[in-house]
Chains A and B, each alone.
Chain A
Amino acid sequence: MTVRVPVSGPGHDGAGADDGRILEVEHLTMRFGGLIAVDDISFIARNRQITAIIGPNGAGKTTVFNCLTGFYKPTVGRLTLHHPSRGPFFLERMEGFRIPQQAQVARTFQNVRLFNAMSVLENLIVAQHNQLMKASLFSIAGLLGLKRYRDAELKAVERARYWLDRIGLTEKADLDAAHLPYGDQRRLEIARAMCLQPVLLCLDEPAAGLNPRETHALNDLLLSIRDDFGIGILLIEHDMNVVMGISDHIVVLDYGRLIADGLPEAVRNDPTVIRAYLGEEEDEELPVEVAADLAAEQGEPGRA
């Protein structure tokens, strides 16, 4: 079922999409039995911005992604996607596969999920399934070999070729996806998501397992996607070079809670974040007496 309910009610006075916000997460909570994986999180992601979601392992980052892309139904919360042309979608009410299909939210996975036995080009063509399906009149025009379908396929190949050029895999287009080196597989997965022509791109640890040179190239790719297509990018990442290098806005989670939300500079210096994520600074935590003892001990060698 298409859910395209007009946004109304408190907090939604119709001005929502005007300030460039693409995604609004409100009070998102996800429970698995007794475990609260995500606890009352609210944040906003905007167009033409890279919003990074960071946090230690198990903080609930991937769970947020799974709620956004329909793999989980949130226990509580509203996920509003302000689609620039199709109006707002309430993602939490939509069936999984309709989120990419209608709301145009694309994602990649923490452990790369390509169609391994299919060629690189085929991976990108499958991503354009819904347009091709329409053009082929559910395959009938395709079976008959009508021009209508052939044109649509050529267009799909053209888009695939554009993305292959962009990620530098044009030469390897006819290889099986499984035979690509790991870094290429990561980039191919991003290209496949972009072939959906998304308005919001969710990337789950795209830099994991990449070497520094590949990471640098990835940064450039993500920045150029943001600037050329003007879409919002949500990014889960552990690599601080990537996060601090390209994010416009950072959301920090810890044990399912949102502990910081702001510009990279502000988040970098936030003491809560430093404690939770970058490790505790010992002298801040120590009780006063112990700290005094320590200071005395450290002074001793000099005295002796």
Chain B
Amino acid sequence: MTVPAAASAGFLVSALKESAFFALIALVLAVPLVGLRTVQEVGGLQIEPRWAWVAIAVGAVFVGRFLLGSLRHLLAMRGPRKERPAVAAALQASLRYLAPLLVVFAVALPFLPIADRYVLDVAILVLTYIMLGWGLNIVVGLAGLLDLGYVAFYAVGAYSYALFALNFGLSFWVCLPIAGLLAACFGVLLGFPVLRLRGDYLAIVTLGFGEMVRIILINWYALTNGPDGLSGIPRPSFFGLPFAFKDPGGETFHSFFEIAYSPGHRVIFLYYLILALALLTNLFTLRIRKLPVGRTWEALREDETACRSLGINPTNTKLTAFAIGAMFAGFAGSFFATRQGFISPESFTFIESAIIVAIVVLGGMGSQIGIVIAAVLLIGGPEFVRELQEFRMLAFGGLMVLIMIWRPRGLLSFREPTLRLHPIPGRGGSPLPPPADSSP
């Protein structure tokens, strides 16, 4: 019995030491942050010390750290930890059912009792970010090119729809491909100067590109109306039928289908529109991953030198990744413009790019469903905890820190090979013929 007792005593000393150290850090932080408070007095701002609060904070950290250390110690005494990979494998297996379930849920959402106008608006916002995340995933997750200026392509898409619709009266469905094409051209335009850059340098240049686009939008007053933005952007119609109560030109959506007019129809239509666009992005990505282009993107991410030694043209490969990623941002941008009815450079700041990159990284680079979960957490989460008000950003930051501690490579970071020689029974995958006996 003496050995465990001695071990416990040793543990107690080390745990107390550790707790004291953390309490000291807490003290240093708490004195300026908690201990001093400015109050409005008659003669101006006065500093009011709150030492009791400091004591509480330091005490809480000391006790909390001690309890945490003891808990770990007790768990360690109970024997080795259970296998983690089993959990990961179970999670991976459940993903196969999770994805179709999510799609069914997304399709049914507008008809569920919880779906009021507010929920649908949040859902549209989340889906927009999911689509942007999936689009950026092509560039960052597959091709491994860190792009911090992705919002520039989103802006190009939004402004091209707005300008074509306002100046030439083109409909949404005509403008959508044009916006995608223009954004793709901008992707190539960004791609050329950064072909030789990698990692940090690439990130800085793309960040600069994003800012350039925003500043051009602010200053090119004649075309973009500068910081005032463009308003009165036409709303989408249901293949020509407007969602209005009355249309002087003819039928409207509700009169054509002979249903009662509701302003919610347009929201539901917008919801399905972005759902369809997002699913299109997803299907495209899943498909192209299994094609030579997609595999080359991933190979380029792994080792550019080896790619060159295999006769792969790195220039074309990078440019296609930039162009296709940008195209989906362009689609999302035109949706954004038609949904808002008003756009200004304010909507395309660096923070938007940062959020999209955060979604991709948090979701696990290259993981489609990880991006969905990350977008719901990062975009939907803050909306549903509005009651926390000023602590929202604190919760947001805390969540990011926790995820990065818990899963440093992102929520779902496993990668399924694009084709298997030995398919796992019961799981889909491209079936291959049995080996030919005659192979030399």
Residues of A within 8 A of B (CB): 69-71, 96-102, 106-107, 109, 113-119, 121-122, 125-127, 129-130, 132-133, 136, 138-139, 142-143, 149, 153-154, 157-158, 160-162, 164-165, 170, 173-174, 192-193, 196, 228
Knowing A121-B419, A122-B419, the reply to whether A143 touches B288 (Cβ < 8 A) is: yes
Within B274-324, the residues touching A (CB, 8 Å) are: 284, 287-288, 290-293, 295-296, 298-299, 301-303, 305-314
Knowing A97-B313, A122-B418, the reply to whether A115 touches B298 (Cβ < 8 A) is: yes
Return the chain A residue nearest B298 by Cβ. Answer: A118
Q: Quick check: B422 and A132 within 8 Å, CB to CB?
A: no
Return the chain B residue nearest A157 by Cβ. Answer: B432
Which of A113, A127, A138 makes the CB contact (< 8 A) with B305? A113
Interfacial chain B residues near A70, Cβ < 8 Å: 308
Knowing A161-B421, A161-B435, the reply to whether A129 touches B310 (Cβ < 8 A) is: yes
Return the chain B residue nearest A70 by Cβ. Answer: B308
Minimum distance in angstroms from B140 CB to a CB of chain A? 14
Knowing A162-B440, A174-B417, the reply to whether A143 touches B287 (Cβ < 8 A) is: yes
Which of A118, A119, A129, A192 makes the CB contact (< 8 A) with B292? A129
Q: Does B420 lie at the interface of the complex (its beta carbon under 8 Å from any beta carbon of A)?
A: yes
Q: Quick check: A117 and B415 within 8 Å, CB to CB?
A: yes
Most buried by B among A69, A102, A109, A174: A174
State the CA gap A107–B305 with chains docked (Å). 11
Q: Report 16 cross-chain contacts, Cβ distance below 8 Å, ordered by A residue.
A: A97-B311, A99-B311, A100-B311, A106-B309, A117-B302, A118-B295, A119-B420, A122-B298, A126-B296, A126-B299, A142-B290, A158-B436, A162-B440, A164-B421, A165-B439, A173-B420
Minimum distance in angstroms from A94 CB to a CB of chain B? 11
Minimum distance in angstroms from B313 CB to a CB of chain A? 5
Interfacial chain B residues near A136, Cβ < 8 Å: 291-292
State the CA gap A117–B415 with chains docked (Å). 8
Interfacial chain B residues near A153, Cβ < 8 Å: 419
Scan B414-431; emit 1 where CB is below 8 A from any A CB, else 0: 010111111000000000
Scan B193-229; emit 1 where CB is below 8 A from any A CB, else 0: 0000000000000000000000000000000000000
Knowing A117-B302, A117-B415, the reply to whether A192 touches B310 (Cβ < 8 A) is: yes
Most buried by A among B293, B417, B420, B422: B417
State the CA gap A139–B308 with chains docked (Å). 20
Q: Does B433 lie at the interface of the complex (its beta carbon under 8 Å from any beta carbon of A)?
A: yes
State the CA gap A153–B420 with chains docked (Å). 12
Knowing A113-B303, A118-B298, A139-B293, the reply to whether A126 touches B310 (Cβ < 8 A) is: yes
State the CA gap A102–B298 with chains docked (Å). 23
Minimum distance in angstroms from B288 CB to a CB of chain A? 7
Q: Quick check: A139 and B310 within 8 Å, CB to CB?
A: no
State the CA gap A63–B141 with chains docked (Å). 34
Residues of B within 8 A of A (CB): 284, 287-288, 290-293, 295-296, 298-299, 301-303, 305-314, 415, 417-422, 432-433, 435-436, 439-440
Q: Quick check: B421 and A122 within 8 Å, CB to CB?
A: no
Q: Quick check: B291 and A142 within 8 Å, CB to CB?
A: yes
Q: Quick check: B311 and A101 within 8 Å, CB to CB?
A: yes
Interfacial chain A residues near B420, Cβ < 8 Å: 119, 121, 173-174
Q: Quick check: A158 and B439 within 8 Å, CB to CB?
A: yes
Q: Quick check: A133 and B292 within 8 Å, CB to CB?
A: yes
**At the interface, is chain B mostly helix, strand, loop or mixed?**
loop
Q: Quick check: A115 and B299 within 8 Å, CB to CB?
A: yes
State the CA gap A99–B439 with chains docked (Å). 29
Interfacial chain A residues near B310, Cβ < 8 Å: 100, 106, 126-127, 129, 192, 196
**At the interface, is chain A mostly helix, strand, loop or mixed?**
helix
Q: Quick check: B421 and A113 within 8 Å, CB to CB?
A: no
Most buried by A among B306, B308, B436, B439: B306
Q: Quick check: B306 and A129 within 8 Å, CB to CB?
A: no
Interfacial chain A residues near B415, Cβ < 8 Å: 117
Return the chain A residue nearest B305 by Cβ. Answer: A113
Minimum distance in angstroms from B321 CB to a CB of chain A? 12
Q: Quick check: A161 and B298 within 8 Å, CB to CB?
A: no
Return the chain A residue nearest B424 by Cβ. Answer: A174
State the CA gap A154–B432 with chains docked (Å). 7
Minimum distance in angstroms from A294 CB to a CB of chain B? 51
State the CA gap A96–B305 with chains docked (Å). 10
Most buried by A among B302, B307, B308, B310: B310
Which of A127, A149, A173 makes the CB contact (< 8 A) with B421? A173
Return the chain B residue nearest A165 by Cβ. Answer: B439
Most buried by A among B287, B291, B435: B291
Which of A71, A118, A132, A196 makes the CB contact (< 8 A) with B417? A118
Interfacial chain B residues near A174, Cβ < 8 Å: 417, 420-422
Return the chain A residue nearest B423 by Cβ. Answer: A174
Minimum distance in angstroms from A108 CB to a CB of chain B? 8
Return the chain B residue nearest A133 by Cβ. Answer: B292
Q: Quick check: B293 and A133 within 8 Å, CB to CB?
A: yes
State the CA gap A99–B312 with chains docked (Å). 10
Interfacial chain B residues near A109, Cβ < 8 Å: 305-306, 309
Which of A69, A118, A162, A228 makes the CB contact (< 8 A) with B309? A69
Interfacial chain A residues near B305, Cβ < 8 Å: 71, 109, 113
State the CA gap A125–B419 with chains docked (Å). 10
Q: Quick check: B419 and A157 within 8 Å, CB to CB?
A: yes
Q: Quick check: B299 and A118 within 8 Å, CB to CB?
A: yes
Q: Quick check: A129 and B312 within 8 Å, CB to CB?
A: yes
State the CA gap A107–B418 with chains docked (Å). 25
Interfacial chain A residues near B313, Cβ < 8 Å: 97, 101
